[in-house]
Structure 1
């Protein structure tokens, strides 16, 4: 076989420039090389069950591996897609596609995770503001009702990722020619295959390429390996392009890469493959570079197809996995074979050629017998007379035969190319390790943005036990009611109303999302959301998330008023209250509490973000209390009036604690048994008026000493009040209108509540966020508040401005979600 020992200088320079460009531009396109619609290989599967009723010319489909929905309308009548608040979001028809800039969905649907900021003027209740975006009668959008929005796994999946799971059922409504078209489907977890066969194919491919170097046909086989690598990469890119929806430029961009890097890689790779096969040894390094680049890009970007059930490709699943294995294996093999190939077939160096030439010339000169033309004795190195050592210093310099001859005459030295070969080999081995390590790292650890949940290790240096303290989300009862025993330092109460049109499946999906996210947040795990950096380095700080249902929920989302338990009957009106209806009530409630303000803010914000397609915030308010360590352990908290608040609370050690605080009625719905009823009151304090009283007058209003909290009848804070005791000057020691007398269970037929209070301060107003937990408000809050509203001396200094009632379901089992029994689901 003819072997080329050199390549024309222009070609070599061009290939060198190309190699440099590949190193610079190649990694830039790797991150987005084989994702479609923001999603790569995944085990999540979005399925469209159907569109009912079916309309000829209206075609809805799931595209881009579940990332988007696509609607094509070839009828003469527009189709209107409803947004998350049942508002018109998009119009698709013969006049093209129009988006409503007043719909929040226009902004939320712009990216895969709904992280685009919604402008303040986007009001779903306002008149639509249409903007044309396309002349074609087809629209594709990220509908967050249909796919998994978090970058972490659902709880049930994390518990058993090898089993299939139904994550949610979804519904999207369309309007067409006066009719409602309903699209229904499901989101499922489908476990992927074992990656072992593809690991073996990758390793075998790499070993074969290395073995080619030591055969008689090394150049042809290495060239063929490089050609096969390019062919596999072209096939893989074609599979991605064929599932990319859009026009020709969009599909061409998917085929060639976001920055058209393939236009540089493929042609030079093909040229190099042909020339290597024809004997161009030098181009083995081009093959090494192309192979290493493609292998590293593929391993980092597409190796997950080996162990995930679906990928954005038109190729059959196993063929797609095989192309990825061949690209990684052949590329790694070329990277490793490059130095070996050069070492075996390296052409003779110029130095060695020059040495041979000089030796030949010298031989001819010394053997020449022809005398010079002038008849003098010929002078040569061989015939020069010997000189004594003493004459050496005065000797004339030797006759030089030219620079190359002098170099050849110099003492032999070890070639530097040996060190370069060893270094190149080390780099090659290291490169293969990086490629295979990247693939293994993705398989084992998931990497960023994968289906594997990230965890935060507890007990990092510098964090106290306050920061690392955790309260489990799952359990027989929801956390945040009786646990932790000491109320946390920060609280956010948020009430939500369901978006009009949300059905039973939508409500169930929301409760699942909230429960899954709450489990991760309370464990100190990140959600993979853009706002996670807010709590970087922070522990969960005793974070609790408590979920509740308001009376108005029943009558929505497929729940009838008859499903509402009697304990959830709306609260009656009380004398003297001045409630703000916009800051009262709600369909749903979230209580987020922790010992750190940033932890509370982050958790509440992310849970509200997850609710966007299904519910919107009705009102929210923040509260605060003493931070841990500020007061003695077990000490009762003080409110802004300076009084100890919660002294006479039921205690978990009381025999009747459960019957007072939790629903134990066997006739109650199963979802409420073990739960509790929460009354929330936002009570503004007239602190200037209160401070105008002297301390003795303040104590007569409350019935307790301000410093110790002891009842005015004597004793210590927890000494039972003696309501019959008289003061030294006569009259009752605890006045008849004192707060503790009117609120005492003894004067309310035994009515009792577990009260937890946080203070609030907004602008110039401040007061108490009063939370009361009980088995039934009709036997707890209602009778007590009626008595207090009538004659409590404290009424002169407070104003009830917000009121809400919520049923807090029993806790969720591991793998389940809060409220699961409400839908008849099996918690197991």
Structure 2
């Protein structure tokens, strides 16, 4: 029995580490290179002249723009050299394969090599990319592409700065229009404070593992761990749902497709934490091991994987950055704390002497 318990405790770190290696690639593929956070806030101020039925918004923490066309007419987005770049209308979404913007905007960095036929002076060659009326794209006019911040930011990084006002030309038939917006530098938060609070909270939760495995104190501690882990698991599921909504997902089906294609491990570990918490509440056999493993996984994938928001002023979710940081902190506290507590309880159980029945 003792060897079995020690073996389980050792497997917690090994299993979590193996899952990290397996899931590293798909976790990084979410949202077509959407950032985990940024210090540049991109906003739209509207379309001029106003076009009823034409909606434009910023998604993925400013990484992309989303245009939805319900006007019943064809709207064109103009590229960097004045050429037609995108076409959105009742017949679907099209890209001009001769527009350099088609290739430059395929990544957020804009460092794609242009093919030989990328000629803004050539007649448009339209290629259908979607049957709907919504298009999403990176646009360098609304982003800060340099590795160094602007001079004004370097001089006073603790202040908010307007980097530039930007515009993107449109064409509604023969009539010109434009999307207008702003790009601002927003000072990042103090990441050390967030990490310090998170570590202290995780240690406090982990202290539950110091309680003896015997009832009643041990049973109450296990129940508390179960409740905390279920809360952390629920938030671990909710955060990637928010990321998908911020990335433009529409409806339950759109959110599910986004989760399964780009954030499958965050989803699975969150659901696993909820299941492990319920398992602990029911005081099932091996509940300590389940709590430790689920806590480690949820802390790694849903916590550490999103911890960039501790050091960034703009988060890729539809809530305020402060709420995003609190959610990630709670996930880390409950996950890392539950893992620590579970391992401590396994260790305590392994040291409990087994009574040998006496015969009279």
Q: Above 0.5 in TM-score?
A: yes
Aligned to 1:56: 52
Superimposed CA distance per residue, residues 622-656 of structure 1 (whole angstroms, 9 cap, x where no aligned partner): xxxxxxxxxxxxxxxxxxxxxxxxxxxxxxxxxxx
Give the superposed CA RMSD.
3.0
Aligned to 2:9: none
CA distance, structure 1, for counterparts of residue 183 and residue 13 of structure 2: 49
User: Residue 269 of structure 1: SS of its match in structure 2?
Assistant: helix
Aligned to 2:155: 159
CA contact (8 A) 2:94 2:127 kept: yes
5+ residue gaps, structure 2, are 6-11, 212-216
Q: Are residue 211 (structure 1) and residue 207 (structure 2) matched?
A: yes
User: Residue 201 of structure 2: SS of its match in structure 1?
Assistant: helix
1:52–1:40 distance in 2 versus 1, CA, 3 Å: same
Aligned to 2:307: 303
Aligned to 1:132: 128
Aligned to 2:87: 91
How many residue pairs match? The answer is: 343
User: Residue 318 of structure 1: SS of its match in structure 2?
Assistant: helix
Aligned to 2:335: 331
Residue 257 of structure 1 and its aligned partner are, at CA, apart by: 6.2
Aligned to 2:270: 266
Q: Are residue 315 (structure 1) and residue 311 (structure 2) matched?
A: no
1:178–1:257 distance in 2 versus 1, CA, 3 Å: closer
CA contact (8 A) 1:107 1:118 kept: yes
Superimposed CA distance per residue, residues 120-143 of structure 1 (whole angstroms, 9 cap, x where no aligned partner): 111111111111111111111111
Residue 274 of structure 1 and its aligned partner are, at CA, apart by: 1.8
User: Residue 122 of structure 1: SS of its match in structure 2?
Assistant: coil
Q: Are residue 279 (structure 1) and residue 275 (structure 2) matched?
A: no
User: Residue 315 of structure 2: SS of its match in structure 1?
Assistant: coil
Q: Which of the residues 68, 73, 77 maps onto 2:69?
A: 73
Residue 333 of structure 1 and its aligned partner are, at CA, apart by: 1.4
User: Residue 60 of structure 1: SS of its match in structure 2?
Assistant: strand
Instruction: After TM superposition, list the pairs within 5 Å mapping 1:748-787 onto structure 2.
Output: none
User: Residue 145 of structure 1: SS of its match in structure 2?
Assistant: helix
Aligned to 2:188: 192
Aligned to 1:233: 236
1:102–1:28 distance in 2 versus 1, CA, 3 Å: closer
Aligned to 2:28: 31
**Which deviates further from its counterpart, 230-239 or 336-345?**
336-345
CA distance, structure 1, for counterparts of residue 203 and residue 285 of structure 2: 20
Residue 318 of structure 1 and its aligned partner are, at CA, apart by: 1.9
1:255–1:295 distance in 2 versus 1, CA, 3 Å: same
Q: Which of the residues 226, 235, 256 maps onto 1:223?
A: 226
CA contact (8 A) 1:281 1:342 kept: no
CA distance, structure 1, for counterparts of residue 65 and residue 48 of structure 2: 16
More helix by share: 2
CA distance, structure 1, for counterparts of residue 158 and residue 29 of structure 2: 28
CA contact (8 A) 2:38 2:312 kept: yes
Residue 341 of structure 1 and its aligned partner are, at CA, apart by: 1.1
Q: Are residue 292 (structure 1) and residue 296 (structure 2) matched?
A: yes
CA distance, structure 2, for counterparts of residue 312 and residue 63 of structure 1: 8
Question: Which structure ranks higher in relative contact order (CA pairs < 8 Å, sequence separation ≥ 6)?
Answer: 2
Instruction: After TM superposition, list the pairs within 5 Å mapping 1:646-661 onto structure 2.
Output: none
Residue 290 of structure 1 and its aligned partner are, at CA, apart by: 2.3
